[in-house]
């Protein structure tokens, strides 16, 4: 199935609701129509999707500090990630893609945040703006096995030209 395709699903008659028949819409090909033909799922496993519910993470992301880095125009920014959900959160990757508040590409992580726990991550960020500049829609993007977490920030540059990022909102995108 194409990533990003829209999938329409309905309970499959041959499996007592344990699997769903699915058909892609707008991606140019059908994934499966087992129930319509009156056939059961076990014989059509390659044409039927088994869907497992994956609970969206519940997290709070806050900026702890932004301090000068090792080089000119480099800042060491720390974020506190708090897991408010019922399941542990395994962070696999971090990325800060904004052109005016930019990280060092995709940074592999092996950070586990237990239920109710919080962890800090620190990343280098390149930023060089005049005092008073406001950069909107800068993102810290974190990847887990099933989700991308987007911490949208507004970054204000103080009187000394130091970035002061503030997380405005956190949203999620399923990778399933």
Q: Which of 82, 153, 142, 138 is nearest to 107 (CA)?
A: 142
Question: Domain span at residue 144?
Answer: 59-174
- For residue 31, being part of any structural domain is answered with yes
Residues 86 and 159 in one domain: yes
- For residue 54, being part of any structural domain is answered with no
Domain count of the chain?
2
- For residue 71, being part of any structural domain is answered with yes
Structure pTM?
0.70
Q: pLDDT of the chain along its 176 residues, tens only?
A: 333 333 333 344 444 333 333 333 333 333 343 333 443 444 334 444 445 667 889 999 999 999 999 999 999 999 999 999 999 999 999 999 999 999 999 999 999 999 999 999 999 999 999 999 999 999 999 999 999 999 999 999 999 999 999 999 999 999 98
Rounded to 5 degrees, what are φ and ψ at 43?
-80, -10
Residues 74 and 129 in one domain: yes
Q: CA angle, 72 as apex, 103 and 159 as ends, to 5°?
A: 90
């Amino acid at each position: 199935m194409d990533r990003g395709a829209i999938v329409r699903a309905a309970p499959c008659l041959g499996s007592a609701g344990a699997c769903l028949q699915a058909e892609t819409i707008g991606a140019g090909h059908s994934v499966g129509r087992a129930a319509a033909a009156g056939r059961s799922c076990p014989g059509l496993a390659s044409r039927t999707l088994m869907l497992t519910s994956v609970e969206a993470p519940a997290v709070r992301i806050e900026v702890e500090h932004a301090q000068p880095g090792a080089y000119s125009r480099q800042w060491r920014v720390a974020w506190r990630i708090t897991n408010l959900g019922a399941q542990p959160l395994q962070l696999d990757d971090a990325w800060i893609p904004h052109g005016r508040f930019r990280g060092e590409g995709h940074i592999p992580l092996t950070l586990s945040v237990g239920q109710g726990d919080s962890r800090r991550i620190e990343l280098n960020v390149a930023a060089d703006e005049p005092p008073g500049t406001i950069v909107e829609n800068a993102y810290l993007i974190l990847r887990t096995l099933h989700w991308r977490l987007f911490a949208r920030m507004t970054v204000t540059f103080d009187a000394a030209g130091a970035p002061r990022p503030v997380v405005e909102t956190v949203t999620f995108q399923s990778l399933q």
